[in-house]
Structure 1
Amino acid sequence: MQIPHGKKVYFSSDNHLGAPTPAESLPREKKFVRWLDMVKEDAAAIFLLGDLFDFWFEYKTVVPKGFVRVLGKLAELSDRGIPIYFFVGNHDLWMRDYFEKELNIPTFREPKEFIFNDKVFLIGHGDGKGPGDKGYKRMKKVFTNPVFNWLFRWFHPELGMRLAQYLSVKNKLISGDEDKKFLGEENEWLAQYAKRKLETKHYDYFIFGHRHLPMEIRISEKATYINLGDWISHYTYGEFDGTSLQLKEFTE
């Protein structure tokens, strides 16, 4: 994709809408909608890198209640012809085809390569990548197993959603302190993952979410790893103007 003059590509991740309660989440949802209103004026594309919701499970004919403001705004932007891409995070693993059919937003489950103005990007949510965290990787295999999905769908949505939302809010990714700490460049596992990817192919930018901590790490002379932070504490996003990418904070 060639970015037209005056246009930009935007990246956002980890809103966790609905947590810890719908009432407490609502101001953050409204703030994110205001950000979408801002970027729509010059957006060549918008990338949402997962965990937009703190929990999302689509039954065959049922989608979770709530989030009408952000879903309506995404529909508006998509209808205006702004390309939007969604990467499934660990809190919205159980997304089916609602975004694709209702909002015309392609959905990806693994990191994907994009090229903008000859700059090569590898983009994804980031969960389960890099060394370590074997417990989560095993858990993810269970949660994405078709048998597990089939069994969960037998729960009445009222019971299944209540149980899953309770467990999701208790998840350390939304409630813990350890994700707020910078581990050092040598210990940031997504940076290590990016370095390994460079052994087989050149990328200019690796863009991920999941860590909830905005960071920019130069991992080689020509490659940079960027974590987008979140919309819980930092309200940060990425902005690529066709030449370089910057991390910015949305302030009003």
Structure 2
Amino acid sequence: MNIPEGKKIYFSSDNHLGAPTQEESKPREAKFVKWLDEIKEDAAAIFLLGDLFDFWFEYKHVVPKGFVRTLGKLAEIRDSGIPIYFFVGNHDLWMHDYFEKELNIPVFHEAKEFEFNTKKFLIGHGDGLGPDDLGYKRMKKVFTNPVSKWLYRWLHPDIGVPLAKHLSVKNKMISGVEDQKFLGEEKEWLIQYSRKKLETKHYDYFVFGHRHLPMEIDLNGTSKYINLGDWISHYTFGVFDGEELKLKKLD
């Protein structure tokens, strides 16, 4: 993609809409919708890097209730011709084809390469990447198994949705205070993952979410690791102007 002069690419991650309750997340949703309304004026594309919702599961004919303002704004922006790309996170990993069919927004379940103005990007949510975290990796394989999803669909939505929401909040999958501490470059799994990838291929930027902690880390003088933070504590997002990717904070 070549970015037209005066246009930008925006990146956002980890809104966790619906948590800890629908009512309590409404002010965050209002800020996000207002932000979307502002950036549509100069956006060449928008990347949403997962955990937009604290829980999302698509039954054959049912999706979770709520988020009308967010979905409506995304539909409006997409209908105007601005590309939007969605990467599933660990909270919305059960997303299937609703966004694609209803909003014309492609959905990716793995990290993907992009090139903008000759700059190479590797973009994804970031969960399960890098060394260690073996417990989560095993759990993710179970949750994403087609048989597991088929069995879960047998739960009536009035049971399945509130049950999953309860477990999501109870298990602190919204980042807690301890989760937002920088561990050091040698212990941050996504930094290790990015450096390992650079051994075989050059990327100018690695862009991830998941950690809920805004980070800009120089990897080797020519590559950077960017973590987008979240819309719970930090309200941070990424902006690429065609030459450089920077983290910014909502005013």
Q: Distance in 1 between matches of 2:55 and 2:155?
A: 16
Report the TM-score, using the length of structure 2 for normalisation.
0.99
Q: Distance in 2 between matches of 1:96 and 1:125?
A: 16
Does residue 192 (structure 1) correspond to residue 195 (structure 2)? The answer is no
Does residue 84 (structure 1) correspond to residue 79 (structure 2)? The answer is no
Report the TM-score, using the length of structure 1 for normalisation.
0.99
Unaligned runs of 5+ in 2: none
Q: Distance in 2 between matches of 1:76 and 1:63?
A: 19
User: SS of 1:216's equivalent?
Assistant: strand
Cα deviation 1:33-62 (Å, max 9, x = unaligned): 011011100000000000000000000010
What amino acid is the match of 2:216? E
What amino acid is the match of 1:186? E
Shift of 1:121: 0.2
Cα deviation 1:78-123 (Å, max 9, x = unaligned): 0000000000000001111000000000000000000000000000
Residue of structure 2 in register with 1:127 after alignment: 127
Unaligned runs of 5+ in 1: none
Residue of structure 1 in register with 2:73 after alignment: 73
CA 1:248/1:163 → structure 2, altered by over 3 Å: closer, same or farther?
same
Cα deviation 1:10-34 (Å, max 9, x = unaligned): 0000000000011100000000001
| Identity %, equivalent residues | 76
Q: Distance in 2 between matches of 1:102 and 1:75?
A: 8
Q: Distance in 2 between matches of 1:105 and 1:196?
A: 31
User: SS of 1:174's equivalent?
Assistant: coil
Cα deviation 1:141-189 (Å, max 9, x = unaligned): 0100111101100000000001000001122231522221011111111
Written as runs of structure 1 = structure 2, the 5 A alignment for 1:4-23 is 4-23=4-23
Q: Distance in 1 between matches of 2:178 and 2:196?
A: 24
Q: Distance in 2 between matches of 1:98 and 1:184?
A: 38
Residue of structure 2 in register with 1:145 after alignment: 145
Residue of structure 2 in register with 1:170 after alignment: 170
Written as runs of structure 1 = structure 2, the 5 A alignment for 1:27-46 is 27-46=27-46
User: SS of 1:9's equivalent?
Assistant: strand
Q: Distance in 2 between matches of 1:183 and 1:68?
A: 37
CA-based RMSD:
0.7
What amino acid is the match of 1:60? K
Q: How many aligned residue pairs are there?
A: 251
User: SS of 1:248's equivalent?
Assistant: strand
User: SS of 1:47's equivalent?
Assistant: strand
Q: Distance in 2 between matches of 1:108 and 1:178?
A: 29
Q: Distance in 2 between matches of 1:175 and 1:191?
A: 18
User: SS of 1:172's equivalent?
Assistant: coil
Q: Distance in 2 between matches of 1:232 and 1:159?
A: 27
What amino acid is the match of 1:245? L
